[in-house]
Structure 1
């Protein structure tokens, strides 16, 4: 396991310690969340009783393979805890998420949870959001027009940068689990995440964006000097 993966696993292990028997859990998506699901599965084999709601088909397949009991959000509409990764963690635990393409389901599950805990290596903790391109999920009708509207909304929030239609490793257009497309906005700096979120929400054709504001209550960051826990004030 690489040093970077070891750090992710350390953060995930600390998050597993928060889980209690009987909890209903949101299971995140991505390389760090994968470690959480794997470690959770070990506890389940030891007798821990939980039910997980996965945020992607990828996570669903992993959890099923490892024997973690699952439910849909319709079956369990209120969750105790969601544990997920993040592409960036900024001031006030504002997040950029969606690098794995699951931002819509991730935000729905996080919103349904009493608590959201973010796990990551310390490199994801930044002073200002925006270095990681902001994923914006859009419908597949009129993408060129939607892109222009997003650019206008970004400028109104002080953000400027190139929007790129996401493609998979095979070169084909990336399609989310919900059948949508993703535009990645390379803004570089997002001076006011709340303002940008509000402007993007007004754009017709935008299904969801990767700014998670006021959702994470705790971040668990692993680094060379150990694990640090940050709580939202």
Structure 2
């Protein structure tokens, strides 16, 4: 089956496949949300069903929870887990310091809560997500529905004084209606082009009334696993300062991945 994947999906697959090496028997594992994280959940499910791996998963969205149960992973809440050994998740962008933009899938709040409650955060991605400066991908900001248009105006006014290339904010839609997060909130996507100071941006956004959380993950990620379309995998550890490279072979077979929909 993997032989039928596009190069970008092959990159996602090999990153996900390598990332599950960070999971050990008995761990509480944070399960990310998004297309790349879905590959990882499937890989873990295969280990649970075929190799007897015993883990408990803490999902970051209802979508991930449903998929985890489908592939045989025991699902528990963060309150039940209390603390997490490792969280594995995707990213929309990452820079050389492993700072991230996340939230393209709309689960940034739960993703950030779970990631910060973890001993280690491992990010799985493809090489196209690396940037010199964050901001090319629209920055998601979760806001409460009450007064969201006022919050949007205040954010746009705030951006005038920030080191960014663009200042437009748009309400994320789901068809003809606003996209609603698992917590019942809305998402504003900020089209910034480039964020000069991501630390400052994250801080000032979260000080604004009406803002619940933003998609900047600063100093949270420990390891990024970068996949390439030819099967190469690069693992960067920000704490150890190491970079490891290897290659995964593709095997065409019908397995747990055969019905995966991104």
Report the TM-score range of the alignment, normalised by the length of the smaller protein: over 0.9
2:245 matched residue in structure 1:
none
Match of 2:218 among 198, 213, 229: 213
CA distance, structure 1, for counterparts of residue 76 and residue 139 of structure 2: 30
Q: Which runs of 5+ in 2 are unaligned?
A: 240-262
State the shift of 1:24 in Å. Answer: 0.4
Report the TM-score when normalising by structure 1.
Answer: 0.97
State the shift of 1:90 in Å. Answer: 1.1
Q: Secondary structure at the match of 1:91?
A: coil
Report the TM-score when normalising by structure 2.
Answer: 0.86
Residues 1:41 and 2:22 are matched in the alignment: no
Equivalent pair of 1:27/1:53 in contact (CA under 8 Å): yes
Equivalent pair of 2:8/2:228 in contact (CA under 8 Å): no
Deviation per CA, 1:103-140, whole angstroms, max 9, x where unpaired?
Answer: 00000000100000000011001111000000000000
Counting only pairs closer than 5 Å after superposition, residues 1-233 of structure 1 correspond to structure 2 as 1-45=5-49, 46-159=51-164, 160-168=166-174, 170-224=175-229, 226-233=232-239
Equivalent pair of 1:153/1:203 in contact (CA under 8 Å): no
Q: Secondary structure at the match of 2:81?
A: coil
Equivalent pair of 1:157/1:199 in contact (CA under 8 Å): no
Q: Secondary structure at the match of 2:97?
A: helix
Deviation per CA, 1:159-182, whole angstroms, max 9, x where unpaired?
Answer: 2321000002x2321000000000
CA distance, structure 2, for counterparts of residue 133 and residue 151 of structure 1: 14
CA distance, structure 2, for counterparts of residue 211 and residue 116 of structure 1: 14
CA distance, structure 2, for counterparts of residue 31 and residue 144 of structure 1: 30
CA distance, structure 1, for counterparts of residue 159 and residue 81 of structure 2: 36
Larger of the two Rg values belongs to structure: 2
Deviates more, 1:15-24 or 1:145-154: 145-154
Query: Aligned-pair RMSD on alpha carbons?
Result: 1.0
| Number of residue pairs matched by the alignment | 232
Q: Secondary structure at the match of 1:117?
A: strand
Equivalent pair of 1:153/1:196 in contact (CA under 8 Å): no
